[in-house]
Amino acid sequence: MEYSLDKAELKGKRALIRVDFNVPFNERLEVSDDTRIRAAVPTILKVCNSGGRAILMSHLGRPTSGPEDKFSLRHVLASLEQALGKPVRFISDCVGEKSLLDTASLHNGEVALLENLRFYKEEEKGDEFFAGQLAEHGDIYVNDAFGTAHREHASTAVIARFFPNDKYFGYLMENEVKSIERVLNDAEPPVTAIIGGAKVSSKIAVLKNLLPRVNHIIIGGGMSYTFLRAMGGQTGNSLVEEDQLSTADFILAEAKRRGVQIHLPTDTVVADSFSNVANRQTVPSNEISSGWMGLDIGKESIAKFSEIIENSRTVLWNGPMGVFEMDNFAVGTRAIAESLARATAKGSFTLIGGGDSVAAINQFGLSDEVSYVSTGGGAMLEFLEGIELPGIRAIRNIS
């Protein structure tokens, strides 16, 4: 890749790296999930091991009135040092003379972490002067924060202007871009997209962008009932977006025109309330009685979907098949995750993206058995919609 970190001259250089350390904490303000921190380690160590100095910047949470201790990135330090296996210097601000002196005093191979960018409202506003202040910390700029690539913020898009010939993708960002572009533009057929989740309205643009690129679309989760209702089915108390019935009709017609096969659940596990202990039964998906709601796909649908997945060479999964957070309605989502693992083992390329899909693949302990698990929820969704993300556009010099 043209803007790969491997092409950068790093020795003796200050690499200003935008990472995504927007991580969850427990009540003791300790990191409760360090996935995003560990994802940044290869890029940071590449800089250090090449004789450079790594200066990290990130946002954390949504502070509303300047510095707040609970949003301080110093709470990330312990987990970051453990992941890197080396000490990290914490800089108590991200701009200003003192912070510049602190980062300038780093030695080759050392790492510093700047304080939360969002303590300054200029960050989210994409303020150019603020971006210029940040830029003074680095000789080169590295964006390794795919999860924020869809934002036109100072540290993700605007700052790249100050490094016209010295801006690069970090390894995480590079892998994200390569993986998604492989599915969208260079996929080995048959190509299957599994699209789930609650609402059609949140996936319309994704579905439209995928139609020219795939052979099969499997639709599950709450959004499937809008399609089933559009086709004249009885959906009981299942989640249906009445204002999206015409959209569902359009997608079905467009898929038929393009020769893309749309697969909907043929049987559904229904419940008489939205509860793990609700009464449940399996019924035909288009014959759900009043008072019952679909919360998972049934065994017949699992078998059908699994066969399609395991006979595909490229598979994208975005969205669960049911309410997998409840054990009694997690069977379908788990089965899809397991079929993706089997497809991967046979040589297929499998990409998992979107917050719920990532949560599911992690919950079932299968994240290491698929090809790639994306770290960016909203960013991946916009990428799949065909939008050129600001954080990517800024590195690639696309105006």
Q: Judging by DSSP bridges, how do beta strands 53-57 and 111-114 pair with one another?
A: parallel
User: Which pLDDT tens digits describe the chain residue by residue (399 residues)?
Assistant: 678 999 999 999 999 999 999 988 888 898 888 888 999 999 999 999 999 999 999 999 998 878 888 999 999 999 999 999 999 999 999 999 999 999 999 999 999 999 999 999 999 999 999 999 999 999 999 999 998 898 899 999 999 999 999 999 999 999 999 999 999 999 999 999 999 988 888 889 899 999 999 999 999 999 999 999 999 999 999 999 999 999 999 999 999 999 999 999 999 999 999 999 999 999 999 999 999 999 999 999 999 999 999 999 999 999 999 999 999 999 999 999 999 999 999 999 999 987 688 889 989 999 999 999 987 777 888 888 888 888 999 998 754
> Quick count: other Cβ atoms within 10 Å of Cβ 396?
15
Burial (0-12, 13-18, 19+ Cβ within 10 Å), 61: middle
Active-site residue list: 36, 199, 355, 378
pLDDT of residue 384: 87
The β-bridge partners of 45 are none
Query: Closest Cα to residue 320, out of 230, 198, 217, 162?
Result: 198
CA distances from 304 to 280, 288, 297, 350, 364 (A): 22, 20, 11, 18, 21
d(CA 284, CA 111): 58
* CA angle, 210 then 222 then 32, to 5°: 90
CA 112 to the chain's CA centroid: 26
| Cα separation, 229 vs 247, whole angstroms | 12
CA–CA gap between residue 255 and residue 370 (Å, rounded): 27
Domains, the chain, ordered by start: 5-170 (3.40.50.1260), 187-384 (3.40.50.1260)
Instruction: Mention every residue, 6+ apart, whose C-beta is less than 8 A from residue 263.
Output: 216, 217, 218, 219, 304, 305, 308
Quick check: helix, strand or coil at residue 216?
A: strand
Tell me the C-alpha distance between 75 and 29, whole Å. 6
Q: What is the pLDDT of residue 398?
A: 53
